[in-house]
Structure 1
């Protein structure tokens, strides 16, 4: 009898350990035991963080390296090129326009085609309207293409950054591009020669003339040595 009484406390200790480990208590209802075993789910502290709205990334455009009325450039290492651009813009704008298009679209016969088309509209405008009013309508897309190719800052965005007005225009890329295209046309129509010179200075600072670019040739392997077999 003494041994049975000594074993009872040990059995009670085992039952307590089993209950501590999560085992069901004998005689307990299944519902109460399952309810005790279900882990508690902590509520979210910040449920608004589940939905994060990201704003569209705004491209940082680069400023032009020379101003619209900087006829002689910035007096830097491109001073000789800037002087050539100024002379061409004053006396031969068709050559300057063709050179800009040749650098902007290398590998294509753009110089002769654009130069001839510009010259035709130039003389036609002087003959009909006594002024160069037709060539700017043909040449202003070069300014838009140059601005988009090098991600340059347009007149509208420059005005917004300097004055702070119409800031909502910068956030809408489509409206901004339409506005910049109209301002490109206005710059060519009102300050045509200055616009051509600014584009010529910009493209010469960023690219090399196609005639001065290195040419790459395909390396050809020499033919395999031929051996004549002896006659049989």
Structure 2
């Protein structure tokens, strides 16, 4: 008799499987893309963009300069930030400390997951991967002025200069 009740309960479960709404959990797709506290790409996804990976690998100061210019809304020049980073990196080996401050700014501005210790660890151990991740995040959010395909978006001036 218990086997018929047991079979009936399985048939009931199979007829109406639990949904994510029943459990008050978001679907796996929603958790992956709608969670505002996750970075858009992982720290180890450096090679997902080959050109960015190559530039950052051989000259991280260029990628860092682009990040600074995007985060500071153009108030800090890409060239000056890249130059300072290059001097700090190649003269003292401490350029990672300068770039670490911008990772923290990005994380706080976009309420991304992580903490100060994780930021420090990422830049000390794998600065180039961290810079690639930060630039990809800014590009994903449309802050860098280019699309995902690497095509520069030129701003359109509606009320141009009048002579």
TM-score above 0.5:
yes
Deviation of residue 213 (structure 1)?
4.6
Alpha-carbon distance in 2 for matches of 1:68, 1:192: 10
**The one of 86, 102, 106 aligned to 2:69:** 102
Q: RMSD in angstroms over aligned alpha carbons?
A: 2.3
Q: In structure 1, what is the equivalent of residue 47 of structure 2?
A: 72
**Mean Cα deviation higher: 182-191 or 134-143:** 182-191
Deviation of residue 209 (structure 1)?
3.4
Alpha-carbon distance in 2 for matches of 1:206, 1:217: 23
Gaps of 5+ in 2: 1-34, 146-151
For normalisation by structure 2, the TM-score amounts to 0.66
For normalisation by structure 1, the TM-score amounts to 0.47
Gaps of 5+ in 1: 1-59, 74-81, 126-132, 155-179, 222-232
**The one of 85, 91, 113 aligned to 1:153:** 113
Alpha-carbon distance in 1 for matches of 2:158, 2:142: 22
Alpha-carbon distance in 2 for matches of 1:139, 1:118: 8
Alpha-carbon distance in 1 for matches of 2:71, 2:120: 18
Q: Does the 8 Å CA contact 2:71/2:106 hold for their aligned counterparts? A: yes
Q: How does 1:1-232 map to 2 (within 5 A)?
A: 61-73=36-48, 82-125=49-92, 133-154=93-114, 180-210=115-145, 212-218=153-159
SS of the residue 1:212 aligns to:
coil
Alpha-carbon distance in 2 for matches of 1:199, 1:140: 11
Deviation of residue 205 (structure 1)?
1.2
Q: Does the 8 Å CA contact 2:138/2:144 hold for their aligned counterparts? A: no
Alpha-carbon distance in 2 for matches of 1:149, 1:200: 14
Alpha-carbon distance in 2 for matches of 1:72, 1:196: 12
